[in-house]
Each structure stands twice: as C-alpha cells, then as structure tokens.
Amino acid sequence: MTQRGKYLIGVDVGTGSARAGVFDLAGRMLGSAKQDITIWREPGSIVEQSGNQIWQAVCASVKGAVAQAAIAPEDVAGIGFDATCSLVVLDGDGAPLAVGPSNDPERNIIVWMDHRAIAQAERINAQGHDVLKYVGGVISPEMETPKILWLAEEKPETFAKAGHFFDLADYLGWRATGSLARSTCTVTCKWTYLAHEGRWDDSYFRQIGLGALADEGFARIGTEIVAPGTPLGAGLTAAAAADLGLVAGIAVGAGLIDAHAGGVGTVGAEGAPTDSLAYVFGTSSCTMTTTKDPVFVPGVWGPYYQAMVPDMWLNEGGQSAAGAAIDQLIAFHPATTEAASAAAKAGQPLPVWLADRALEKAKAADAIALAGEIHVVPEFLGNRAPFADPHARAVIAGLGMERDLDSLIALYVAGVASIGYGLRQIIETQAANGAVVKQIVISGGAGAHDLTRQILADATGLPLVATEAEEPVLLGSAILGAVASGKNDSMTQAMAAMTRTEKTYLPEPQAVARHDARFAAFRKLQDCVRTLRAAS
C-alpha cells in the first residue's frame, strides 16, 4: 500500500527526449519513462523544437513513470522540472510563434545549441556592458538575449507579437501551474538578471538594442523571480493535472537548467557543496562550482547568485559538444560501421561497446596507452570555457592509414581523454582565480562508464565521485518537488537527505604523469589552431 504524499516526480527535458522519474523521499527511483522529441535543423546553425510537442512528451513520460512505479497519482507530493536553456516564444495568449525561416508557429523554440545569434553576441560583447562581468566577460550565442536580439532584427513580426519569452524550464512551470514566475537559475545564468541585486539592468537592454523590453518593465521576460524549488502558483492546474495523469494542486517547484539539476542531484552526496565541482557529461558538458563569495573567472560564466544552491554563488563552464563530440569523432573512422553493427547486436550504444573493448585490452588506469600517438582537441562546436570562443574548431593529430577496430578504439580513448583535458583547463583556470575544488562529482549518460570515469580522474588529477542515483538529473528535479511540497525545509537539506556516494575513482600516479604530457600537447594544438585561423 502506498503512503499519501510520499513520492516525488522529477522531469528532465534534454536535447533529444523528455524523461520522468518517480522517487521516494530517500531519493530512490521507483520508476522512469522516456519520450523522444523532434529537432529541426536548418542552414545557418538553426536548431528548433516545439513547445507543444515537448509538453506532450513530458506528459507521456510522467504517465509512464507513474505506471512503472505502480503508485497512485494522489500519492505524489511534488514535482519539479529541469530543461535545456532553450528559448520559448509565445504570443500574449500563450500560443506558439514561429522563430525561424520555416514560419511554422509550432516550431517556437530556439534550442540552446542554436548559434544563429553569433553576430549579435559579438556585437554585444564589443559594447562591453558591465553586466558581462557576470558571464565571464563574454556573452555566448547560446544565451537568450543574443537570440531575442536576433528575433528583433531578423523576425521583427515575431518579436512584436511575442507576449512571453521563457527559458524552457520556466515554460514547463507555466504549463503546469499558469505561473509566470521565473527561476533565478534560468534568468541569472542565461538572461543577465542580477540576482544578487534583485533586478534587471535596463541600461544593458537599451545599449544592445532591446530597449523595448525595458520600456515594458520587463513584463515579457519576467517580473517575478524566485529561487529554485519555490512553490509555483497553487500547484498543478486542473488542465495540467489531466494532461499529466496526476492530481490538481500537487506542489510544483520553480525549475532548473538541466545541468544544474544534475548538480543539485549530486553535490550533496559528500562534504560541503563548495568542495565539489558538479560535472554533467551528456551531449554537452557543464561544470558547476559553488562558492560562498563571488569569484570572477575570465571565460567561465558567472558568478551567479543563487542559481543552484540557495544563498551561494555559482561559476558555470563546460563545452557545447562533449558526448556529441565523441560521437562525431568516431563517426569519421572507417571501422565505425563494423563496430556499430557489433554494438547493435550486443544491445549497447557504440561508445559503451568501445569502452568495453578498451577494458578488454587494458585496465582503466592504463587505457590511455591505447591512444598511442593520437591526440584530439574535441572543439567541434567551439570552446565554451575557459576561452569563450564559439569559432574554435576540433583537431585530430597522429592518424595513420589504419582502418581496423584497434585504431578506432585508440581514437575513442584519445577522444575521452581530450574531454578530460578540457575539464582540467576549466578547473585550473577557476583555481587560479580563487575557486578551488577538491573533487569532481559526475552525472550524465556519457560519463556513466567505469573507463570514462577513471580517465577523467587521471586526466584532471582529482578524485571523481559517482553517486548512487541512477538518474541524478531526474533526482535533482525531484528535489525541487521535495522543497516545494515542504517535505524538506531547504534545498541543502533535501540534497543531503536524497543523495549518497556510490564509488570514488582516485587518480593513478603513473597515469597522471602520462596525462600531464598529453595535456601539454593538447594546449599546444589549441594554440596551433588559433594561429592557423588567424592566417586564414
């Protein structure tokens, strides 16, 4: 028999799917479900999605998770949402508006990885407004104000009709409750809201060409800004409850960006949040570093106040392509078709199959030797941190004429190590500016394999902690529901109660020495690419 109000639901909307998980109050996942979502791509780095389709996928995944967990809907106490930092555009009545050349109103989301606004971002950066010091000095085309500026300039009819610009997590909160409140996580990290001062800077919006938003008192981008986990409205509306298969009035917590949900679902597992860097390794990678006082790090986003852990500051780094970079890398190799067939027969994703093959040849700490003379800089989609350079590009050095599986494994191992070197650069840059961490706490599907985790520990020289949570990002969203429903008094209390360490991967001294040499080569290759680009 279930106990009333003893369960929580976490919903995660990633780049390719919506997922939901049902958790008990100890953080154990009882059921989960997933629903794919469509991505539309167009020339000019345009990547779009549909808000209505995403909501339908969320509803299907919640129903599936509740069914798998075999709990009664009335026994759910709270729900939380996290999502990619994608821009959702609606008219004043809440109907979707077209955001791209298709002119299809159902395609009303500019996806986080969409780089159509590079020119707008560069123009904003050239103006050097003071708010930029809170995004590492350089705004990214992945953030929302460059994208809104692109709409104002390239689709002025959409900009004029827009009644609401939402970050995706806030849009889901609005669909669930009708509340127009925004989370400090979303608007501080991606919209230039100054949470430590409790205000938008109207001079910034006027300077960059979005003065209309300031003239309206910022009504279209949010006037009620609340901490993650704050109860939204009166809970689930009757319409949303019917869509989700739940009960009206269930508490809904203000949301998080997906990577930050991974941080919430992991860094409470061991020690103080300030000791741990949360590393979310999925399609992209994100690093979240918590500090008691603001730390300004060139090329690293933030410091953001109360963007993840209440009353603390956050620095955010990572790369736009991480798991996606590994996929791109191995797609180039002649043996990939053969390996993909073998992986499919084994029922495994190709990277997992390759990692297993690598462990057949060497133990995890020795696997870097398999890379041989192959070196990789995996910046297929630019360098998010610490260089804030969307024009950076990838390098593969040391290739021969080999076409066999062994050479594919070598390329794969070199690629995983290169992700570790990018992480190391961020950690070292932050430490040089005063944000020092003692360990890495990992989440995300691309970082789930023992080989990957050991290579990351060796490449960075830091212990890497994996938590018990099967789905830490979903757990992070469920923690929002725990706080909103009053099952826990605070985010930090909920994090401590619902997260636990499963295994720690310690760096191996001999492997660290090998990685030190390869890291030096990594930096030289980055310098080489910059030189070549300057000469182009």
Q: What is the pLDDT of residue 41?
A: 96
Q: What CATH number is given to the structural domain containing 119?
A: 3.30.420.40
Q: What is the pLDDT of residue 272?
A: 65
Confidence tier at 2 by pLDDT (50, 70, 90) = very low
Instruction: Give the model confidence (pLDDT) of 212-250 as tens digits.
Output: 999 999 999 999 999 999 999 999 999 999 999 999 999
For CA atoms 116, 118, 123, 124, give the dihedral sign: positive
- N residues, the chain: 536
Virtual torsion, Cα 479, 88, 144, 221, nearest 10 deg: -80
Instruction: Give the model confidence (pLDDT) of 89-128 as tens digits.
Output: 999 999 999 999 999 999 999 999 999 999 999 999 999 9
- Where in 180-275 does DSSP place strands (E)? 182-183, 225-226, 251-257
Range of the domain at 69: 7-257
CA distance 318 to 308: 16
Q: How many CB atoms lie within 10 A of CB 509?
A: 10
Q: What is the pLDDT of residue 182?
A: 98
Radius of gyration for the alpha carbons in the chain, expressed in angstroms and rounded: 22
Instruction: Give the model confidence (pLDDT) of 489-520 as tens digits.
Output: 999 899 999 999 999 999 999 999 999 999 99
Residue 428 located in a structural domain: no
> Which position has the higher pLDDT, 379 or 135?
379
Total domain count, the chain: 1
Instruction: Give the model confidence (pLDDT) of 476-488 as tens digits.
Output: 999 999 999 999 9
- For the chain, the average pLDDT equals 95
Peptide bond into 310 cis (omega under 30): no
Residue 449 located in a structural domain: no
Q: What is the pLDDT of residue 466?
A: 92
Virtual torsion, Cα 159, 161, 167, 170, nearest 10 deg: 160
Alpha-carbon separation of residue 131 from 141, 208, 218, 286, 435 (angstroms): 16, 12, 16, 22, 20
Instruction: Give the model confidence (pLDDT) of 64-79 as tens digits.
Output: 999 999 999 999 999 9
Is the predicted pLDDT of residue 3 greater than 50, yes or no? Answer: no
Instruction: Give the model confidence (pLDDT) of 402-417 as tens digits.
Output: 999 999 999 999 999 9
Average pLDDT over residues 307-329: 93
CA distance 196 to 95: 33
Confidence tier at 270 by pLDDT (50, 70, 90) = low
Residue 418 located in a structural domain: no
Residue 401 located in a structural domain: no
Are 334 and 464 within 8 A, CB to CB? Answer: no
Residue 25 located in a structural domain: yes
Confidence tier at 1 by pLDDT (50, 70, 90) = very low
Strand order in the sheet with 464-467: 301-305, 313-319, 285-291, 276-281, 439-443, 464-467, 501-505
Residue 134 located in a structural domain: yes
Is the predicted pLDDT of residue 48 greater than 70, yes or no? Answer: yes
Tell the residue number behind the tokens 């949301």, with chain if given: 255
Q: What is the pLDDT of residue 273?
A: 76
- Angular region, 302: left φ>0, alpha ψ -120 to 50, beta rest: left
Residue 466 located in a structural domain: no
Q: What is the pLDDT of residue 180?
A: 98
Q: Which long-range contacts (CB under 8 A, 24 or more apart) does 343-351 make?
A: 351/323, 351/326, 351/327, 351/412, 351/446, 351/449
Greatest alpha-carbon pair distance for the chain in Å reads 70
CA distance 258 to 349: 22
Strand order in the sheet with 162-167: 40-42, 46-49, 109-110, 87-91, 162-167
CA distance 52 to 104: 13
Instruction: Give the model confidence (pLDDT) of 146-194 as tens digits.
Output: 999 999 999 999 999 999 999 999 999 999 999 999 999 999 999 999 9
Residue 178 phi/psi, 5-degree rounding, is: 80, 0
> 417, 315, 313, 310: which is closest to 366 by C-alpha?
417
> 57, 53, 56, 47: which is closest to 19 by C-alpha?
57
Q: What is the pLDDT of residue 254?
A: 98
Residue 319 located in a structural domain: no
